[in-house]
Amino acid sequence: MTTEDISPRYLDFELWNNSEALEALYESQLEAVAAVAPILPAISRALDDAVPRLRRGGRLIYIGAGTSGRIGALDGAELAPTFNWPNDRVLIAMAGGERALLRAIEGAEDSPDAGAQRVKEIVVCPDDVVLALAASGNTPFTVAATEAARARGAMTVGIANNKDAKLLRTCDHPIFLDTGAEPIAGSTRLKAGTAQKVVLNLFSTMAMMRLGKIYRGLMVDMRPTNAKLRKRAIHMVRTIAGCSEEEAVGAIALATGDVKRAALIARGLSGDAAQAMLDKHDGNLRLAMNEIEPRSR
C-alpha cells in the first residue's frame, strides 16, 4: 500500500529546521488537494445518483474507522448548522462506536461482523447514501459495512487512497485518491486525510446545493440559533429582498427564523403564501423568487 511506503524525501525529516520542515509539510498538503482533481468526474456521477435518493428522504451515512471515520463524522456534524439538514438523516457508523471519535479503540476496525451488524442496526434502506472512507481501502469494518449497505440497496461511495483496494471494488462509486506516500509513513491523518476531507466538502456541499439549500452563495436554510447567526440571517434577508434591517427583522420574526420564507415575506408575500410558494418549488428559493419577480415590479 502506497500510504505505508517510506518517502525518500522525508528520510531525514526530523533533522530539518522548522522552516524547511513546515514548507515540506505544506507542499505535501497541496499535493493532497491536487489529487482530488482527477476524480471530479467520479464525484459528479455519484452526486447524480445520490441527490434523487436524498430528495426522496434518504439519509447520509458515513462509514469509517480511525482517522477516516472522524473525518466523516466532522463532515456530517456540519450539515445541520450549515444547511439545516435533519439530525435524524445523518448517521455515523464508526468502528468502536462514538467513544472512538475521541479515543482510539484498538482492534475495532478489524471486525467485519461489527461493520455488518452496525448497518443492520441503523436499518439501511435503498434511498440511503453511504459514504465509506478508508485510507488503506481494506479496513475490515468499513468494507463489510459497505458490502452490507449495498446488499440492502443503498447507494455506496467508497473513498480510498490505495489503488485496487477492496473498498473500491465493493462500492457503487469508487473514488481513488492517489496521494502516495505520507511524510510520516502510514500517518494517513496527513495527505490521505486532507484529500478525503476535500472530497467530502465537495460532495456534501454540492448535494445540499442541488437540494435547494444555497441561494446566490448564501446558506439560506441555516437556522439562526445564536447571536452571530441571527445577524447573518438579517444580512441574508436584506441582501435577497433588498429591504431595510427593520423589515428583515420583522420578516424573520413572522417566518419564525426561516430565512427563505422571510425573504419572500420581505418581498410582499404573506407567511402562508411564502410557504406555499416554497412548497410549490420543493424549497428552491431561486424558483420561488423568479415567480414573484413580476409581481414585485
Residues recognised as catalytic = 78, 109
Q: How far is CA 264 from CA 52, 143, 151, 256, in A?
A: 26, 46, 44, 13
Strand order of the β-sheet with 155-160 is: 90-94, 60-64, 129-134, 155-160, 173-176
Q: Which three cell numbers stand for residue 243?
A: 429591504
Q: Is 103 exposed, middle or buried (0-12, 13-18, 19+ CB in 10 A)?
A: exposed
HEC per residue, 217-229: CECCCCCCCCHHH
In angstroms, the CA 184 to CA 16 distance is 14
- DSSP conformation class of 2: G
Other beta carbons within 10 angstroms of residue 73's beta carbon come to 19
Contact (CB, 8 A) for 146 and 112 = no
Contact (CB, 8 A) for 91 and 61 = yes
In angstroms, the CA 258 to CA 264 distance is 10
Q: Which three cell numbers stand for residue 159?
A: 473513498
Strand, coil or helix: 113? helix
Q: State the amino acid at position 118 in one-letter form.
A: R
Q: Which three cell numbers stand for residue 157?
A: 461511495
HEC per residue, 185-217: CCCCCCHHHHHHHHHHHHHHHHHHHHCCCCECC
Contact (CB, 8 A) for 82 and 222 = yes
